[in-house]
Amino acid sequence: MSDPAVEARGVFKTYTQGTEIVRALRGIDLAVRTGEFLAVTGASGSGKSTLMHILGGLDRPDEGDVFIGGEAVSALNDQELALIRRRRLGFVLQFFNLLPTLSAAENAAFPLLLDGAADALERAMDGLRAVGLAQRAAHRPAQLSGGEQQRVALARALVTRPAVVFADEPTGNLDSKTGGEILQLLRAAADDGQTIVMVTHDDRSAQVADRSVRLADGLLTG
């Protein structure tokens, strides 16, 4: 059997908030299969965003390890981790998803541009076409609606054909109709074989995923 696309083994994470010590993750073991669409649900403060950050190489665990395509994140330095994020991972965040001075096409092409790919903008245009925004390619984020911005973010997350796309409350800032459209796009990507990890507090959004896990007080409960 092949390695999971991303896997957490015995992950602990603690941080302090003011004088309070928050045990955000308390021994998480989780494997996401290649091509799987996983929803991580939980109440606010349950640790789901922290888990996504650690799985996505944005933060490091205090204990345990994360494996992306079988490669241990703990063995990677910052430079290598940046390359992993650029080439093998994609992100869709809740707020401030796009760089304000770049056009929609440039935003979508950003990871490829960082790599100096000659066909970056062409590939980004393909991505924008796929999310129905080719006609808005030259627009700046400020000229796009919230839903359009999230679609551009999705196009960007998919542009490198990454091993895993992480989506952190991708519909949290949108109305239900627009949010539904975004979920459908994520579903379509998963149907094409894309591995997706989506963090959401909304159980209805989670229904679009192949599998759901629930976090409560830093522990997986289901």
Catalog residues that contact other proteins under the rule CB under 8 A: 53, 56, 58-59, 78-79, 82-87, 89, 91, 93, 95-97, 99-102, 110-111, 113-114, 116, 156
Q: Which is nearer to other proteins, 17 or 19 (CB)?
A: 17
Q: Which is nearer to other proteins, 93 or 208 (CB)?
A: 93
Q: Which is nearer to other proteins, 125 or 208 (CB)?
A: 125
Of residues 89, 84, 55, the one with CA closest to residue 157: 89
Residue positions counted in the chain:
222
**Cβ-proximal residues to 220 (8 Å cutoff; 6+ apart), any chain:** 28, 29, 30, 213, 214
Q: Rounded CA gap, 37 and 135, in Å? A: 29
Q: Which is nearer to other proteins, 83 or 188 (CB)?
A: 83
Q: Which is nearer to other proteins, 48 or 85 (CB)?
A: 85
Q: What are the respective helix, strand and coil percentages of the chain, to the nearest 5?
A: 35, 30, 35
Give the shortest CB-90-to-other proteins separation in angstroms: 9
Give the shortest CB-65-to-other proteins separation in angstroms: 18
Give the shortest CB-47-to-other proteins separation in angstroms: 13
Buried b (16+ CB within 10 A) or exposed e, 181-199: bbbebbeebbeeebbbbbb
Environment class of 75 (CB within 10 Å of its CB; exposed 0-12, middle 13-18, buried 19+)? exposed
Give the shortest CB-144-to-other proteins separation in angstroms: 14
φ and ψ at 183, to 5 degrees? -65, -35
Phi-psi region of 60 (alpha: psi -120 to 50; beta: other; left: phi over 0): beta
Give the shortest CB-222-to-other proteins separation in angstroms: 26
Q: Which is nearer to other proteins, 26 or 86 (CB)?
A: 86
Q: Which is nearer to other proteins, 53 or 136 (CB)?
A: 53
β-partners of residue 145 are: none
Give the shortest CB-207-to-other proteins separation in angstroms: 27
Give the shortest CB-67-to-other proteins separation in angstroms: 19
